Amino acid sequence: MADTRLCVSAPGKVLIAGGYLILSKEYSGVVLSTEARFYTYIESCDDEDIKVISPQFGSEWIYDSNIKQINTEQQNDFVQLALEEVSKYIEYKHDSSMKGLRIVIAADNDFYSQRAYLRSKQLDATYRNLQAVPKLNKDLKNINKTGLGSSAALITSLVGSLLLRYNSVSKEFTDNDKQLVHNLAQYIHCRAQGKVGSGFDVSAAVFGSHTYSRFDPATINDLIDQYTSGEMIDSIVNKGWDSLVDKIALPYGVSMHLADIEYGSHTPSLVKKVNEWKSKNLDQANELYKSLDISNKQLAGLLVALNKSYETNQDGYLHALDYLSNLIPSEWLKDESNSVVNQFVDLKLTLQNIRATFRTLSAKADVPIEPIQQTRLLEACSEIKGVIGGGVPGAGGYDAIYLLAISSTQTANEIESKWLKWDELSVSPLVCGEGFQGIKNEDAFDISRLLGT
């Protein structure tokens, strides 16, 4: 095989609607992909070993051609499992052995908190200082995740790069290519976690921003903890997966702002407690879930409608943006003369309804989905001109919030100022916004230069 370099990247995720519901196939959620991405760079090496390097973790894992680790570095289950399962698939499909590779994996800075790095430089966590941190920063000080779905993005970029290396997918990543990457990455990610999750994080890493309904867990459930052959893996990835993906994007002139909060929640424990409450209070839970589902679908519908309005009524759309950017959300009122203003008002009200239902679920299940500290912070942000609304992403908790706001320097500056001055919680902005795109081929030379390879 020719000695060619390649690099594939996959984005992080923010689930802005669908927390808890997305575990059931009957419901859907809205997941936005981020500008922050995971990168997997591959080049040939002279021997038959496979070397996987993580500059940000200061780690290197070396495997022989049978994907057995031969150095003393602490094992990385996600990386090794991905190599094992893709290797079986490649050997079965292409009668080719996976060997002689040097693989470098790195992530954009927003996947990990940069607070400790900035503190070491005696700098505050401002947008400007965060943007000045070297790309793919290797001096992390502490490894604290920010909740963007690092394991899903890592697995997806690694699987995609290996499939590209062995010509199972094209550089363009066609729809069929993406489906193959999705199915294989979902299977590997679930196997690495030891359970079949909802899969929205891997789906976002592959397809980008979209509305998502999960696949049937039975698709892979029986194979999560047993030995698999290349033939079995091939049958898994070529099954008729029934997850539903409809591409979506934030409307023109609307930005997503993300905050990392130094407090932390354990998502599995939140989900476990809510599921326990649901099993004992099925009627109440179903009523709340149906109410949330209505609001979630309204949110998706409004994002689509606003994008359509920009295409068909650009003057009215731009007027609405200009008008609303100078008002705080409580001053937003419907306007019979501008239908776009009405759509933005409906978007604001829908985000409020989602939050209100989550707070009800929080109280009934006695679980901090939107803790009072987050409520006060979100309400304070609603006093900023141009803010549409926001909430706690995913399963909620203490560790993050998101805001949707009309894109303007003034609004962004006021959001940053509010967060940095907030003394009840330690709030740090992330630099990334919505990225829209999913998995993609990167310029290997540029990434190689950034990695110093």
Question: How does pLDDT run across 227-250, given as a tens digit for each residue?
Answer: 999 999 999 998 889 999 999 999
Domain 6-248+439-451 classified CATH 3.30.230.10?
yes
21 is written with which tokens? 């519901």
HEC letters along the chain: CCCCCEEEEEEEEEEEECCCHHHCCCCCEEEEEEEEEEEEEEEECCCCCEEEEECCCCEEEEECCCCCECCCCCCCHHHHHHHHHHHHHHHHHHCCCCCCEEEEEEECHHHECCHHHHHHCCCCCCHHHHHHCCCCCCCCCCCCECCCCHHHHHHHHHHHHHHHHCCCCCCCCCHHHHHHHHHHHHHHHHHHHCCCCCCHHHHHHHHCCEEEECCCHHHCHHHCCCCCCHHHHHHHHCCCCCCEEEECCCCCCEEEEEEEECCCCCHHHHHHHHHHHHHHCHHHHHHHHHHHHHHHHHHHHHHHHHHHHHHHCHHHHHHHHHHHCCCCHHHCCCCCCCHHHHHHHHHHHHHHHHHHHHHHHHHHHCCCCCCHHHHHHHHHHCCCCCEEEEECCCCCCCCEEEEEEECCHHHHHHHHHHHHHCCCCCEEECCCCECCCCCEEECHHHHHHHHCC
Report the pLDDT averaged over residues 317-335: 95
CA separation for the pair 445, 265 (Å, rounded): 39
**pLDDT band for position 1 (50/70/90)?**
very low
Q: Which one has a higher pLDDT value, 263 or 211?
A: 211
Give the closest residue to 245 by CA, choosing from 1, 42, 48, 438.
Answer: 438
- The string over 297-310, giving b where at least 16 C-beta atoms fall within 10 Å of a residue's C-beta and e elsewhere, is bbbbbbbbbbbebb
Q: Which one has a higher pLDDT value, 2 or 94?
A: 94
- Note whether 317 and 406 are within 8 A (CB): no
Is it true that 6-248+439-451 and 254-429 share their CATH fold?
Answer: no
Domain boundaries, the chain: 6-248+439-451, 254-429
Per mean pLDDT, which range of 136-145, 206-215, 285-294 is the poorest? 136-145
pLDDT for 266: 63
Tokens 């310029």 belong to 443
pLDDT for 375: 96
438: Cβ contacts below 8 Å, ≥ 6 apart: 10, 11, 33, 178, 204, 205, 206, 207, 208
Query: Does pLDDT of 435 surpass 60?
Result: yes
How many CB atoms are closer than 10 A to CB 84?
18
pLDDT for 141: 66
pLDDT for 144: 87
Report CA-CA distances (Å) from 220 to 21, 188, 196: 20, 10, 8
pLDDT for 222: 87
Query: Does pLDDT of 44 surpass 60?
Result: yes
pLDDT for 140: 80
The CATH number of the domain covering residues in 254-429 = 3.30.70.890
Query: Does pLDDT of 452 surpass 90?
Result: no
pLDDT for 9: 98
- HSE (CB half, 13 Å, CA atoms) of 106? 24
Query: Does pLDDT of 426 surpass 50?
Result: yes
Per mean pLDDT, which range of 26-30, 94-98, 187-191, 435-439 is the poorest? 94-98
Report the pLDDT averaged over residues 288-297: 97
pLDDT for 265: 59
Q: Chain-wide mean pLDDT for the chain? A: 94
Question: How does pLDDT run across 144-194, given as a tens digit for each residue?
Answer: 899 999 999 999 999 999 999 999 999 999 999 999 999 999 999 999 999
CA separation for the pair 278, 285 (Å, rounded): 5
